């Protein structure tokens, strides 16, 4: 199935990174050489998406500038013999059509997704939570798009996590359908550890059918007094099957200072240019 649109939610305050995020969006913090949000945009492009909808908020305009043309900078780089860099800067602005919708109040992830309703319209779409970095995300999403096409239903990415961290995620109660594919019988946002229905946690990639919008409109504030996407999906699961795909491969979390640091190190170690030197440097420190 060809999915034309992707939504990336990037409207949060970034409180977990303050004061670093006082006057810059957390999505613009670097992960190696590029800002966090660029990973999701590139993944959307690799999935064949034609329009990326970024949900943004007050004070986060530097994201828009990042994906815009920068003629003066390109000209400067070319004049100074840095044509390759100029080309890379141009590539970032030409990757895909992007439009921006503003979430005017911080009412939760479910509410952020709802602000994209009119731009998405009545077609399935991919949802990216940009804090979650999937080095092999396009492969995972292509499998999820196939499942969505086969069953005409929403599909979430899930991964088994240790019991100690299950309360940080949306968690599903699974019913096995085939290897790596489950029906989500119940979905709970950040359950207490003793009450978690399983250790299968929702990670930040979703292929959603447009009826999620109606479900979200009917969803009342839940955990943290916020309108939770997981609660919207739970409502949807009462009406029709919602699937969860247990993906293979890594997923990193760039959403807290500690995990951002870990992600930076993990990605740098995988990088052919940075990896060997960093390994040697870390060896010296330890
Ligand atoms: C969000 C979702 C949660 C999901 C998680 C994945 O939580 O609400 O269901 O498991 O992303 O990273 P957040 O990390 O924004 O608190």
For the chain, the domain total comes to 1
Q: How many angstroms does the Cα of residue 178 sit away from the middle of ligand 1? A: 25
Q: Residue 94 contacts by C-beta under 8 Å, 6 or more apart in sequence?
A: none
The pLDDT of 82-99, averaged and rounded, is 97
278 lies in some domain: no
The pLDDT tens digits of the residues spanning 167-184 come to 999 999 999 999 999 999
Token pair of 25, please? 């969006």
The pLDDT tens digits of the residues spanning 213-270 come to 999 999 999 999 999 999 999 999 999 999 999 999 999 999 999 999 999 999 999 9
Q: Where are the alpha helices (DSSP H) in 7-108?
A: 36-46, 62-66, 71-79, 83-94
Ligand 1 atom closest to 169 (CA): 10
DSSP class per residue in 96-120: SEEEEEE--S---HHHHHHTTHHHH
Cβ–ligand 1 contact at 169 (below 6 Å): yes
Query: Do β-strands 243-246 and 181-189 pair in parallel, antiparallel, or remain unpaired?
Result: antiparallel
How far is residue 151's CA from residue 65's CA, in Å, rounded to a whole number? 39
The secondary structure of residue 188, as a DSSP letter, is E
Residue 1 has pLDDT above 80, yes or no: no
How far is residue 207's CA from residue 126's CA, in Å, rounded to a whole number? 4
Cβ–ligand 1 contact at 203 (below 6 Å): yes
The pLDDT tens digits of the residues spanning 77-87 come to 999 999 999 99
Token pair of 93, please? 């602005």
Q: How many angstroms does the Cα of residue 186 sit away from the middle of ligand 1? A: 16
286 lies in some domain: no
Ligand 1 atom closest to 189 (CA): 9
96 lies in some domain: yes
The pLDDT of 35-50, averaged and rounded, is 98
- Report the mean per-residue pLDDT for the chain: 96
Q: How many angstroms does the Cα of residue 137 sit away from the middle of ligand 1? A: 17
Residue 146 has pLDDT above 90, yes or no: yes
Q: Residue 283 contacts by C-beta under 8 Å, 6 or more apart in sequence?
A: none
The pLDDT of 20-39, averaged and rounded, is 95
The pLDDT tens digits of the residues spanning 183-212 come to 999 999 999 999 999 999 999 999 999 999
H-helix or E-strand spanning residue 157: strand 155-160
Token pair 């949802």 is found at 127
273 lies in some domain: no
Band the pLDDT of 153: cuts 50, 70, 90: very high
Cβ–ligand 1 contact at 132 (below 6 Å): yes
Expressed as residue numbers, the domain containing 43 is 5-255
Instruction: Give nearest CA residue, ligand 1 atom 7.
Output: 169
Q: How many angstroms does the Cα of residue 95 sit away from the middle of ligand 1? A: 27
H-helix or E-strand spanning residue 202: strand 200-208
pLDDT of residue 2: 83
Cβ–ligand 1 contact at 140 (below 6 Å): no
232 lies in some domain: yes
Mutate to test the pocket of ligand 1, among 133, 160, 169 (most ligand atoms within 8 A of CB): 169
Q: Where are the alpha helices (DSSP H) in the chain?
A: 36-46, 62-66, 71-79, 83-94, 109-114, 117-120, 137-151, 212-217, 229-239, 257-270, 275-285
Phi and psi at 76, nearest 5°, equal -60, -45
Share of the chain above pLDDT 90, in %: 98
First to last CA, the chain: 49
pLDDT of residue 13: 87
The pLDDT of 52-58, averaged and rounded, is 97
271 lies in some domain: no
Q: Residue 97 contacts by C-beta under 8 Å, 6 or more apart in sequence?
A: 50, 51, 52
Token pair of 186, please? 């119940």
283 lies in some domain: no
230 lies in some domain: yes
The pLDDT of 55-69, averaged and rounded, is 95
CATH classification of the domain holding 26? 3.90.550.10
């Amino acid at each position: 199935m060809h999915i034309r649109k992707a939504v990336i939610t990037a409207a949060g305050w970034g409180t977990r990174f303050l004061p670093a995020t006082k006057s810059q969006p957390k999505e613009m913090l670097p992960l190696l050489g590029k800002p966090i949000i660029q990973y999701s945009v590139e993944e959307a492009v690799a999935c064949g998406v034609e329009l990326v909808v970024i949900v943004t908020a007050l004070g986060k305009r530097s994201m828009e500038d990042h994906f815009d043309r920068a003629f003066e900078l390109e000209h400067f780089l070319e004049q100074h013999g840095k044509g390759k860099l100029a080309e890379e800067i141009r590539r970032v602005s030409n990757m895909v059509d992007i439009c921006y919708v503003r979430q005017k109040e911080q009412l939760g992830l479910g509410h952020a997704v709802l602000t994209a309703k009119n731009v998405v319209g009545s077609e399935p779409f991919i949802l990216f939570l940009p804090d979650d970095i999937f080095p092999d995300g396009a492969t995972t999403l292509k499998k999820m798009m196939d499942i969505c096409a086969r069953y005409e239903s929403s599909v979430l990415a899930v991964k088994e996590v240790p019991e100690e961290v299950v309360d940080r995620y949306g968690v599903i109660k699974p019913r096995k359908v085939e290897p790596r594919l489950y029906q989500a019988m119940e979905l709970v946002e950040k359950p207490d550890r003793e009450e978690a229905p399983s250790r299968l946690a929702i990670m930040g990639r979703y292929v959603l059918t447009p009826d999620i919008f109606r479900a979200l409109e009917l969803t009342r504030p839940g955990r943290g007094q916020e309108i939770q996407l997981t609660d919207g999906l739970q409502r949807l699961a009462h009406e029709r099957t919602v699937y969860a795909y247990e993906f293979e491969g890594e997923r990193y979390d760039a959403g807290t200072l500690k995990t951002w640091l870990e992600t930076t190190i993990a990605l740098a170690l995988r990088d052919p240019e940075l990896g060997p030197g960093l390994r040697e440097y870390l060896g010296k420190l330890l």
